[in-house]
Structure 1
Amino acid sequence: MQPEIVLITGMSGSGKSVALHALEDAGFYCVDNLPPELLLEFVKLEQTRGAGKVAIAMDVRSAKSLPVVPQYLATLRQHGVRIKSLFLDAATDTLVRRYSETRRRHPLSQADMLNQQRALFEAIELERELLSELRERAHVIDTSAIRSSQLQGYIKSLVAAPGNQLTLVFESFAFKRGIPLDADYVFDVRMLPNPHYEADLRDLTGRDEPVAEFLRQSRDVAQMFSHIEKFLSHWLDLLARDHRSYVTVGIGCTGGQHRSVYLVEALATHFGRRWTTLKRHRELDGRSALQGLTSVTKFGSTIL
């Protein structure tokens, strides 16, 4: 039996431990900080044990060995092992804040030959450089503006998606909170009619029928949907032939509540007739997570 392997890599402080906990809850056998040199032997061992689902975390603590990981992954795939590679990322200022809040030391902030501490910012940029090839070959999840409960939900939905076909991820977001780092394509829909200025619609979201009906009546909204649909339809087959596992499409408006949410819902429904699709609403999901907490803790304070 070939095990299903989920490889978790990413920036220090981006939430890898949260991701592993989510995978453990989903029934995966999880191993943190496995040295890359042991990857092939470890998978072989799990095959003999008949393991079904295995999650492995690797990071910059194994910096010297990271360049061999893509070669090992290619070898495993050639032998029929199913592998999903996920890379957790976050904006540099977010990572700096998280380390400052927790007072933890970055794994690359060691004393150099001059016995000086490398600045945290420089350590993070060096880590980006060392992990760049792994990031390029993985599905990226931007954790800058999400909470741990959101990340857990995203991870579980990604690993549940079929591994033998392209998965489309549609994500709504607010431009005022930044563009998601994980988006392969970003569409700006701030020029469309805004339900925020309608008193009866202001407190609703793009998932509510009154807002959807308001936007369906707009010729501009229909044209925006048509343009995005035609662009993606033209390129998705080529992306699938290029062995892409995931394509993330960001739809952004001012507040991430009405227009972008409506278009994500509509596009996911349309493309779901042929492709595996997932939906994320960064701002709405974050609001729901807050409502479910008895004491509010920022994601950045809990993931290191």
Structure 2
Amino acid sequence: MNTPPDSAQPLLIVSGLSGSGKSVVLRTLEDLDYYCVDNLPAELLPAFVANITASAETPPRLAVGIDVRNRPEGLIQLPHSLAQVGGMGWQHRLIFLDTEDEVLIRRYSETRRRHPLSLDGLPLADAIAQERQRLKPLIAIADRVLDSSQMNVHQLRRWVVTELASNTRPGLSLLVQSFAYRHGVPGDADFVFDVRCLPNPHWDPRLRPLSGRDAPVREFFEQQEPVNDYLGHVAAFLDHWLPRFESDTRSYVTLAFGCTGGRHRSVYCAEWLAAHWRDQGRTRAVTFHRELE
């Protein structure tokens, strides 16, 4: 029988209603160095874990998304699949995201996405009801059911970092967000950095439609000496002081970078600094771009 090299290594099963935020949770876990797989057939879970365990470089943390896109019989058999995984020595937890029906209907209306069960003209409300019925076997065995009805993307990411990932991996986590000053400064930030003094690609018609995550905008900033100088000073400041927060038993620190529109400068700086800390291997960093998400 294969056993993970460290019995404390976790396997998180992320499930829930379509539109409840499962993708946000998985993306955040991926930022926190989890090896993530979405929409895995439930009956293949034991084989997947066995294959990962047998690998020469076993990922330290796994997260798997399992939801209504699975075959109904696979969802019913999930408890047996989890029992097999437990027999391999992995500590599994099932996280289920629930959301009120009216909130789900509003989210689908705003995003214009199609519900996975909305086939052959099935009304959205009926699709949600059918989904709840199919997912009952998962709710019954969930280790944690989270109601995400009143949570935005940023709040859900924060919950993953502070309530979920911190239980399996101690140490300081950073929530790095970008914002537009014209929409207000985030009230929960520990540090706020104003980057409106930096060159603005908004005035370049080629770059204006893009964001700080796009390659042409990154290349623009990389060629700007003031940007490199600014980021160097901010990184040096935080590299010096963040360990003090960690030694003070803080589990997370929120950093906010603001510019005029929250699209170019602040986004680039947030992504750059998050990558800086990830490259060091000392600190987990999750990004959130308020004006883009």
Give the alignment's TM-score, normalised by structure 1: 0.52
Aligned mate of 1:161, from 161, 164, 167: 167
C-alpha contact 1:4 1:54 (8 A) present in aligned 2: yes
Shift in Å at residue 63 of structure 1? 3.4
Partner of 2:91: 82
Q: Is 2:108 the partner of 1:99?
A: yes
Q: Is the 8 A contact 1:28 1:55 kept in 2?
A: yes
Q: Secondary structure of the equivalent of 2:69?
A: helix
Is residue 142 of structure 1 aligned with residue 147 of structure 2?
yes
Offset at residue 100 of structure 1 (A): 0.9
Is residue 117 of structure 2 the alignment partner of residue 108 of structure 1? Answer: yes
Deviation at 1:293, TM superposition (A): 11
> Structure 2: which 5+ runs fail to align?
170-250, 264-287
Query: Is the alpha carbon distance of 1:88 and 1:100 closer, same or farther for their aligned partners in structure 2, counting shifts above 3 Å?
Result: same
Aligned residues: 176
Q: Distance in 2 between matches of 1:83 and 1:160?
A: 15
Structure 1 residues 100 and 39: CA distance shift in structure 2, 3 A: same
| Paired amino acid for 1:51 | P
Query: Which residue of 2 is the match for residue 17 of structure 1?
Result: 23
Equivalent residue for 1:128, pick from 129, 132, 140: 132
- Runs (4 or more) in structure 1 with deviation over 4 Å come to 291-297
Q: Deviations over 1:49-105 (max 9, x none)?
A: 222111100110113221111111122123321112111111000000111111111
> Match for residue 34 of structure 1?
40
The answer to whether the 8 A contact 1:9-1:58 is kept is yes
Asked whether the 8 Å contact 1:63–1:130 carries over to 2, the reply is no
Map residues 218-297 of structure 1 onto 2, 5 A cutoff: none
Which consecutive unaligned segments of at least 5 residues does structure 1 have?
A: 112-116, 164-277, 279-284
Q: How does 1:183-202 map to 2 (within 5 A)?
A: none
- Give secondary structure in 2 for the equivalent of 1:61: coil
> 2:259, 2:148 → 1: CA distance?
19
Which deviates the most, 78-87 or 27-36? 78-87
Contact 2:42 2:66 in 1 (8 A): yes
Which residue number corresponds to residue 59 of structure 1? 67
- Using the TM superposition, give the Cα deviation of residue 47 of structure 1 relative to its aligned residue in structure 2, in angstroms: 0.4
Q: 2:122 aligns with which of 118, 134, 148?
A: 118
Q: What's the TM-score, normalizing by structure 2? A: 0.54
Deviations, residues 163-220 of structure 1 (Å, cap 9, x unaligned): 9xxxxxxxxxxxxxxxxxxxxxxxxxxxxxxxxxxxxxxxxxxxxxxxxxxxxxxxxx
Q: Could you say which residue in structure 2 is the equivalent of 1:71?
A: 80
Q: How much has 1:35 moved relative to structure 2?
A: 1.0
- Using the aligned pairs only, state the percent identity: 38
Tell me how far 1:136 sits from its aligned partner. 2.3
- Alignment partners' CA distance in 2, 1:292 and 1:143: 29
Q: Give the distance between the partners of 2:66 and 2:261, measured in 1 at CA.
A: 33
CA distance in structure 2 between the partners assigned to 1:46 and 1:66 by the alignment = 22
- SS of alignment partner, residue 17 of structure 1: helix
Structure 1 segment 195-210 matched on structure 2, within 5 A: none
> How far, CA to CA, are the matches of 1:106 and 1:58 in structure 2?
16
Q: Is the Cα–Cα contact under 8 Å of residues 35 and 61 in structure 2 kept in the other structure?
A: yes
